[in-house]
A and B are shown apart, each in its own frame.
Chain A
Amino acid sequence: MLTDPAFIRRLDSLYLLARRVLGGSLQADRRTSKKGTGITFADYAEYSFGADYRSIDWRVYARFESLVVKLFELEEDATIYILLDCSQSMESKFLYARQLAAALGYIALNSLDRLAVHGMGDRLVPLLDPCRGRGKALPFLRALDEAQTFSGDTRFNNCGRVFQARHDRRGIVIVISDFLFPAGFEEGLKFLQYHKHEVYCLQVQDDNDTRCDWKGDLDLHCVETDQHQRITVSPREAKMYEQAVVDWNDRLQRYCSKRGIGLASTSPDLPFETVIQEILRRGGLVA
């Protein structure tokens, strides 16, 4: 249960750790590249027509007879989007994936960031509408707790498009999935990046995904599409499958590295706190 007091205490511990690791309050301290109307001086810029007269630095004008305006860093609350893979392929690691989502979402809500959670499958299902504030933590956890996997193939690219249609506000998109998408992951990630989201991939795979101990004649069944096929698995085929998974994951890693997308791979064998701590120690959800 994600709403257990014990689990929430574990999330609190992670939040405290996040504060210590990242320094200070996360509220409104999330720096962006945008310049705006904050109180922290950022830079000077030449005056241009239409600029706010109040921002002209008259002292500079007095000394250099040049009109410049002061720019201040825009301090804004970030929007955290969590796209949680709810396809049947996540069944064996769904609890773990939800724990990871809960940890990240809990930290975000406590940092007064906006948070929205969606479930991915053959369609995009909203699990938590955009909200902010610590008061939303419990509904958030309850929503995660009640989340179920649903049938259908994972259409990540399609879900990305639907997501963008619903949320045009840029934010940090955290994709929690095994990333074993038959149609590939490149198009979806590229689409999210294209719309100025900061994308972070959290890959969760267990032994069922990465290893093959099967032998002989089998009726192979796809957990998502119900397709099945009779095959004969020899050690050679088993080795080929394991190599195919390794190649697939390498492909994901290379793509993320190339596109500046943060990526962390984990398995349910590893406690989710450890994963979150590692993410925080690396400086947060950055590539």
Chain B
Amino acid sequence: MTALSPIYFWAFLSLIPLIGIYFLKVRPHRKSTTAYFLWEKIFQEKRTSSLFRRLRDVLSLLLMLLAFSAVVLALTNPQSTSDDRKDALILIDHSASMNATEQGTTRLARAKDIASEIVQAFNGTQRAAVATVAHDLVYRSHLTDNPRQLLDAIEEVDATDFAMRSELITNSFNEAAGRGDHRIILISDGCFGAADLPEGVELFKVGESQENVGIVAADARYLPGEVGQLAIYFQVASSHEEPVQAELLVSRLDDEGGSELLRLVPLDIQPGVNKSQVYKIENAEPGRWQIALDVEDALRADNVAYLAVERPRPVRVAVKSDDRFFFENSVVAFSGGGGLLQLTDQRPQIVLAKSTTPQAERSLIFQPQGESPFWSELGEELEEVAPRLLIEDHPALRFVDAMSMPFVGARRLKAPEGAQVWVASDEGVPLIYRTTAAGRTAIVVNMDPVAAEFYFSAWFPVLVHSTATHLAGREESLQATYPPNRVVTIPGLTTDTAVEVVDPQGEAQQTDGKSLRLRDLGFYETSNESGDWRIACSLLSSKDTMLDNAEVEDSSKPISRGWLPAQLLTMLAIVVLTGESLLYQRRKVG
């Protein structure tokens, strides 16, 4: 037993005046009687209580000494050395696997019950904080000993479809858990690989291994060279010990919420993660598709995969140059296959130009010449150019080795204010930069492609493709579906501005720039100048599907329950003072 505040032992000095007060006896009121002999008879009958009456004053002193001592000891805040009352962080796993149902209740509900029991066991005697962990670590309450705040925070924990990022726990608490000055209590099913938890993190295991099947991978693409032939790729997994027969329902969803069942695929699902399968569907229309396993099991979310099926949408590119041949070939080279670029003069999205400034909203300009809003102070050619990459790993140059490009014919010039210079010479002359002026955006490549023989370089079509898709906001092609918590760049946006997106619940929300973080399973929809876009989100997590925590062991330590020694001493003091008050009451009013 140690006292956290030993300074209060000095308060024992208060016993001295207490004893002094005790010896200042109060003389009882003198009452005269004419029938003293009658009183004598009465108190002769009560002789048994006279001993108590004589000892009452001593007892009163002892009670007061005991009460004062208890209060003083309570002030010193004694702690048992064997008592593991440390500040605690209650981590609640609310990943997708916690939505698995066992005996009519989800693991998350059970985890919240356990968290509430822990808080109630603390009984306001220990400080704790509540946090949730899945794709992210979110603190739900401050460190407090207020049970109400903690219980409210636990109550507000909601289910998610995110997979657990176990590295969050490792990175966040590896050092803190090792210090041992507080407890980290993780309430989880441990399906994320809890064996790798830091040693100081206690795991309250929730739930046991469940039999479950689910889709762990999915994709859908139109096959190149085929008209309307859609290939659906999927992979299923099973935690059953025996093979399971199931059917895969392939449906197309309409805008009104209805669905059209297009294919029913019988599956013989083997234990573990099965081999991937591909099914082709002829004359498939683009739109919202869904593949679903027709089974009833512990986790429903992984029985469905949502697929956003889109036909290829090429970026329309026009050429404004005397050297049309090389520019057009560079576009045509990327018009097959995925169909990313399309050479056209009709409503072009991107204009390729040389030695001129096109009146287009987005343009790629080689060899700047003459007056242009995209440069100024155009001077003589640079004799020797040593390119220097100013922005590493820029998306527009990710497939280009800019350092090996021959910037022959590059001229001194000054990029407009606010221009984003990607490559510059040693002297600081911009060689490749992106700038916006008068509502138009251009990527300027400061070189003479003819003199540099850049048309014959392999980097030329690559640079055209990269910069064109960058200007169109189409660097990344959309996948048919994404797992939750994935950040997706909304295609067709050239500026990093917030847009409105309708989430799977049908509610409109504003994105954080042109990036969208997927939180719910289903379809997100948005529109911009490049068209309507759908983004699908499916669970696709083999760890969550397998629900396997058989090898995970509960490492939780007992929770210190009940009252603190200081509280017990305070209670003792109250009880003793109550007894003393009864004695006082008896002295005063009998």
Chain A 238-252 interface 0/1 with B at a Cβ cutoff of 8 Å (1 = within): 101100110010000
From A235, which residue of chain B is reached at the shortest CB distance?
A: B590
Chain-A contact segment, one of B33-41, B62-70, B548-556: B33-41
Residues in B neighbouring A63, C-beta threshold 8 A: none
Tell yes or no: A180 within 8 A of B by CB.
yes
Q: Which residue of chain A is the closest to B49 with respect to CB atoms?
A: A232
Given contacts A230-B28, A240-B42, contact A220 B590 (CB under 8 A): no
Choose the segment among B316-324, B476-484, B581-589 that binds chain A (4+ C-beta atoms closer than 8 Å): B581-589
Which A residues lie within 8 Å of B39 (CB)? 220, 229, 231, 241
- Measured CA separation A230–B41 after assembly (Å): 14
Q: Which residues of A contact B589 (CB under 8 A)?
A: 215-216, 234
Q: Is the CB of B590 within 8 A of A232?
A: yes
Question: Chain A residues with Cβ under 8 A from B179's Cβ?
Answer: none
Shortest CB distance A58–B (Å): 65
A 203-255 contacts with B by CB, 8 A? 208-209, 214-225, 227-235, 237-238, 240-241, 244-245, 248
Closest CB in chain A relative to B560 CB, distance in Å:
46
Query: In whole angstroms, how far apart are the Cα atoms of A237 and B49 in the complex?
Result: 12
Please determine whether A232 and B34 come into contact, CB atoms closer than 8 angstroms. no
Closest to B42 in A: A240
Nearest residue in A to B586 (C-beta to C-beta)?
A232
Contacts of B275 in A (CB 8 A): none
Q: Which residues of A contact B53 (CB under 8 A)?
A: 230, 232
A205: min CB distance to chain B, Å: 9
CA gap between A224 and B34 in the complex, in Å: 7
Q: Which residue of B lies closest to A247 (CB)?
A: B38
- List residues of chain B with CB within 8 A of the CB of A221: 30-33, 36
Determine whether the beta carbon of A220 is less than 8 Å from that of B31. Answer: yes
Question: A214 — which chain B residues lie within 8 A by C-beta?
Answer: 31, 590
For chain A residues 31-88, which have a beta carbon within 8 Å of chain B?
88
Across-interface contacts of A5 in B (CB, < 8 A): none
Q: How far is the CA of A180 from the CA of B38 in the complex (A)?
A: 9
Cα of A182 to Cα of B33 in the assembled complex, Å: 13
In the complex, what distance in Å separates the CA atom of A229 from the CA atom of B589? 17
For residue A178, CB closer than 8 A to chain B, the reply is: yes
How far is it, in angstroms, between the C-alpha of A178 and the C-alpha of B34 when the chains are bound?
9
Distance in Å: Cβ of A195 to nearest Cβ of chain B: 27
Indicate if the CB atoms of B587 and A217 lie closer than 8 Å: yes
Q: Is the CB of B36 within 8 A of A245?
A: no
Q: Which of B16-33 contact A (CB under 8 A)?
A: 27-33
Tell me whether B590 and A216 are in contact (CB under 8 A): yes
Does any Cβ of A come within 8 Å of B43's Cβ?
yes
Are B34 and A215 closer than 8 Å at their CB atoms? Answer: no
From the candidates A218, A224, A225, name the one contacting B28 in the complex (CB within 8 A): A218
A157 interface residue (CB < 8 Å to B): no
Complex-state Cα separation, A64 to B36, whole angstroms: 70
Q: Which B residue's beta carbon lies closest to that of A230?
A: B28
Residues of B within 8 A of A216 (CB): 28-29, 586-590
A111 at the interface (CB under 8 A from B): no
Alpha-carbon separation in the docked complex, A240 to B32 (Å): 17
Interchain CA distance A240-B44 in the complex, whole Å: 12
A229 to B590, CA, bound (A): 15
* Closest chain B CB from A214 CB (angstroms): 6
B36: nearest residue on chain A (CB-CB)? Answer: A222
Q: Is A99 an interface residue (CB 8 A)?
A: no
A217 touches B28 (CB 8 A): yes
Interface hits, B40-92 → A, CB 8 Å: 40-43, 46, 53
Chain A residues near B34 (CB-CB < 8 A): 88-89, 92, 178, 180, 208-209, 223-224
- The answer, among A219, A227, A234, for a CB contact under 8 Å with B31, is A219
Q: Give CA–CA (A235, B32) in the complex, Å.
A: 18
Which of A92, A180, A216, A219 is packed against the most chain B CB atoms within 10 Å? A216
Which residues of chain A have C-beta atoms less than 8 A from B586's C-beta? 216, 232, 234
- Return chain B residues, CB-CB under 8 Å to A218: 28-31
Chain B residue nearest in CB terms to A181 = B37
Q: Find chain B residues with CB under 8 A from A232 CB.
A: 53, 586-587, 590
Complex formed: what's the CA distance from A143 to B36 in Å? 30
What are the residues of chain A within 8 A of B590 when measuring CB–CB? 214-216, 232-235, 237-238
A248, closest chain B residue (CB): B38
Q: Enumerate chain A residues within 8 angstroms of B32, measured Cβ to Cβ.
A: 221-223
Instruction: For A238, list chain B residues within 8 Å (CB).
Output: 590
Question: Mask for B99-116, Cβ within 8 A of A = 1, else 0?
Answer: 000000000000000000
For B587, what are the chain A residues with a Cβ–Cβ distance below 8 Å?
216-217, 232
Q: Are A229's CB and B43's CB within 8 A?
A: yes
Inter-chain contacts of A245 with B (CB < 8 A)? 35, 38
Closest-CB distance, A80 to chain B (whole angstroms): 27
Cα distance, A222 to B30, chains bound together (Å): 10
- Shortest CB distance A240–B (Å): 5
The closest CB in chain B to the CB of A244 belongs to: B38
Residues from chain A with Cβ under 8 Å of B38 in the complex: 180, 241, 244-245, 248
A215 touches B31 (CB 8 A): no
Residues of B within 8 A of A178 (CB): 34
Q: Which residue of B lies closest to A240 (CB)?
A: B42
A residues in contact with B28, CB < 8 Å: 216-219, 230
Q: What chain B residues lie within 8 Å of A92 (beta carbons)? A: 34
Distance, CA A20 to CA B420, complexed state (A)? 141
Q: How far is the CA of A2 from the CA of B27 in the complex (A)?
A: 41
A215, A231, A232, A235 interface centre (most CB from chain B within 10 Å)? A232
Closest to B585 in A: A216
Question: In the bound complex, how far is the Cα of B27 from the Cα of A244, in angstroms?
Answer: 27
Residues of B within 8 A of A231 (CB): 39, 43
Which residues of chain B come closer than 8 Å to A233, judged between CB atoms? 590
Residues of B within 8 A of A88 (CB): 34
Task: Specify which of A182, A215, A220, A228 is in contact with B588 (CB 8 Å cutoff).
Answer: A215
Residue of A nearest to B35 (CB): A180
Compute how far the CA of A245 lies from the CA of B37 in the bound complex, rounded to whole angstroms: 11
Once the chains are docked, how many angstroms separate the CA of A224 from the CA of B42? 19
Knowing A232-B53, A237-B42, A244-B41, the reply to whether A219 touches B35 (Cβ < 8 A) is: no
Q: What's the least CB distance linking A282 to chain B, in Å?
A: 28
Which chain B positions have C-beta within 8 A of A248?
35, 38
| Chain B: minimal CB distance from A151 (Å) | 13
Task: For A180, list chain B residues within 8 Å (CB).
Answer: 34-35, 37-38
| Complex CA–CA separation, A221 to B40 (angstroms) | 11
**A225 (CB) vs chain B CBs: closest residue:** B36
Q: Which residue of B lies closest to A180 (CB)?
A: B35
Contact B35 A209 (CB under 8 A): yes
A220 touches B42 (CB 8 A): no
Hey, what's the 0/1 contact readout for A164-193 against B, CB within 8 Å counting as 1? 000000000000001010100000000000
**Chain B residues closer than 8 Å to A182, beta-carbon distance:** 36-37
Task: Provide the bound-state CA to CA distance between A92 and B588, in Å.
Answer: 27
Closest to A221 in B: B32
Bound complex: CA A216 to CA B589 (Å): 4
The distance from the CB of B153 to the nearest CB of chain A, in whole angstroms, is 54
A219 and B30 form a contact (CB under 8 A)? yes
Q: How far is the CA of A203 from the CA of B40 in the complex (A)?
A: 22
Query: Smallest distance from the beta carbon of A164 to chain B beta carbons, Å?
Result: 25
Mark B residues whose CB is within 8 Å of A: 27-43, 46, 53, 586-590
Give me 7 other A-B pairs in contact (C-beta within 8 A), A221-B32, A248-B35 excluded. Answer: A89-B34, A208-B34, A215-B589, A215-B590, A219-B29, A221-B30, A223-B36
Q: Which 7 A-B pairs have the closest CB atoms?
A: A234-B590, A222-B36, A89-B34, A182-B37, A217-B28, A215-B589, A244-B38
21 contacts between A and B (CB under 8 A): A88-B34, A180-B35, A180-B38, A215-B589, A216-B588, A217-B28, A217-B587, A217-B588, A219-B28, A220-B31, A220-B36, A221-B30, A221-B32, A221-B33, A222-B32, A222-B36, A224-B34, A225-B36, A233-B590, A237-B46, A245-B38
